[in-house]
Structure 1
Amino acid sequence: MVDIATRVYNHHWKIDPIVRSLLDTDFYKLLMCQSVFRNKPDTNVTFSLINRTQSVPLAKLVDEGELREQLDHVRSLSLARGESTWLRGNTFYGKRQMFRPDFMEWFEALRLPPYHLERVGDQYELTFEGKWPEVMLWEIPALAVLMELRSRAVLRDLGRFELQVLYARAMTKLWEKVERLRTLPNLRLADFGTRRRHSFLWQDWCVQAMLEGLGGAFIGTSNCLIAMRRDIEAIGTNAHELPMVYAALADSDAELAEAPYKVLADWHEEHSGNLRIILPDTYGTRNFLRNAPDWLAGWTGVRIDSGDPAEGAEIAIAWWKQRGEDPTKKLVIFSDGLDVDKIEELHRQFSGRVIVSFGWGTLLTNDFRGLTPDDRLAPFSLVCKATEANGRPCVKISDNPNKATGPKAEIERYKQVFGVGTQAEMEVLV
Structure 2
Amino acid sequence: MIIQHFTDNDLYKFSVMHAIQKRYPWSYVKYAFTNRGKTDFPEGFAERMREEVAAMANLKLTQEEKRFIEKRCYFFDPVFIDFLEGYRYDPAEVQIVQTDGDLSVVIEGYWYRTVLWEVPLLAIISELYFKMMGATPQDFVGKAIQKGVALKGLEADYSEFGTRRRFSFDVQDKVVGALQESSGDFFKGTSNVYLAMKYNTTPIGTMPHEWFMYHGAIFGYRSANIKGLEAWVAVYDGSLGIALTDTYTTDSFFSSFSQKQAKLFDGVRHDSGDPLLFADKAIGFYEKTRIDPTSKTLVFSDSLNLQTVKQIKDHVAGRIHDTYGIGTFFSNDVGVKALNIVIKLTDVKAHKNDPKYLKAVKLSDVEGKHTGDEKEIDLSIRTLGLE
- Structure 2, unmatched stretches of 5+, are 350-356
2:127 is matched with 148
- TM-score scaled to structure 2, two decimals? 0.94
1:19 counterpart SS class = coil
Work out which of the residue numbers 78, 89, 106 in structure 2 matches 1:112: 89
Shift of 1:37: 0.6
Residue by residue, what CA displacement relative to the aligned partner does 1:174-226 show, whole Å, maximum 9, x if unpaired?
333233222113x2000011111111111011111111110000000000000
* Residue 359 of structure 2 is aligned to residue 382 of structure 1: no
Count of residues in Structure 1 that have an aligned counterpart in Structure 2: 377
Work out which of the residue numbers 25, 31, 35 in structure 1 matches 2:9: 25
Equivalent-residue separation in structure 2 for 1:408 and 1:75 (angstroms): 35
* Residue 90 of structure 2 is aligned to residue 82 of structure 1: no
Equivalent-residue separation in structure 1 for 2:321 and 2:381 (angstroms): 31
Equivalent-residue separation in structure 1 for 2:383 and 2:20 (angstroms): 25
1:317 is matched with 283
Equivalent-residue separation in structure 1 for 2:120 and 2:34 (angstroms): 15
* Residue 223 of structure 2 is aligned to residue 258 of structure 1: yes
Alpha-carbon contact 1:181-1:340 (below 8 Å) kept: yes
Residue by residue, what CA displacement relative to the aligned partner does 1:328-383 show, whole Å, maximum 9, x if unpaired?
12100000011111111111111211101000011111012xx3xxxxx2112111
Shift of 1:61: 6.3
Letter in 1 for 2:217: A
Instruction: Write the mapping of 1:49-88 to structure 2, written as runs, cut at 5 A.
Output: 49-54=33-38, 56-58=39-41, 60=42, 63-87=45-69
1:13 is matched with none
- Structure 1, unmatched stretches of 5+, are 1-16, 157-162, 372-376, 422-430
* Residue 119 of structure 2 is aligned to residue 137 of structure 1: no
- The two structures, once aligned, show a CA RMSD in angstroms of 1.5
Alpha-carbon contact 1:24-1:224 (below 8 Å) kept: yes
Equivalent-residue separation in structure 2 for 1:367 and 1:309 (angstroms): 22
Equivalent-residue separation in structure 2 for 1:217 and 1:310 (angstroms): 22
Instruction: Write the mapping of 1:358-377 to structure 2, written as runs, cut at 5 A.
Output: 358-368=324-334, 371=335, 377=336
Equivalent-residue separation in structure 1 for 2:60 and 2:103 (angstroms): 26
Letter in 2 for 1:228: M
Equivalent-residue separation in structure 2 for 1:269 and 1:175 (angstroms): 41
Shift of 1:62: 6.1
* Residue 51 of structure 2 is aligned to residue 102 of structure 1: no
The alignment-based identity, stated in percent, is 31
Instruction: Write the mapping of 1:269-288 to structure 2, written as runs, cut at 5 A.
Output: 269-288=234-253
Equivalent-residue separation in structure 2 for 1:314 and 1:124 (angstroms): 40
Equivalent-residue separation in structure 1 for 2:7 and 2:172 (angstroms): 14
1:206 is matched with 175
- TM-score scaled to structure 1, two decimals? 0.85
The alpha-carbon distance between structure 1 residues 348 and 77, as it changes in their structure 2 partners (threshold 3 A), is same
2:269 counterpart SS class = strand
2:133 counterpart SS class = helix
Equivalent-residue separation in structure 2 for 1:342 and 1:148 (angstroms): 27
1:173 is matched with 143
* Residue 190 of structure 2 is aligned to residue 221 of structure 1: yes
* Residue 372 of structure 2 is aligned to residue 406 of structure 1: yes
Alpha-carbon contact 2:72-2:202 (below 8 Å) kept: no
The alpha-carbon distance between structure 1 residues 61 and 312, as it changes in their structure 2 partners (threshold 3 A), is farther
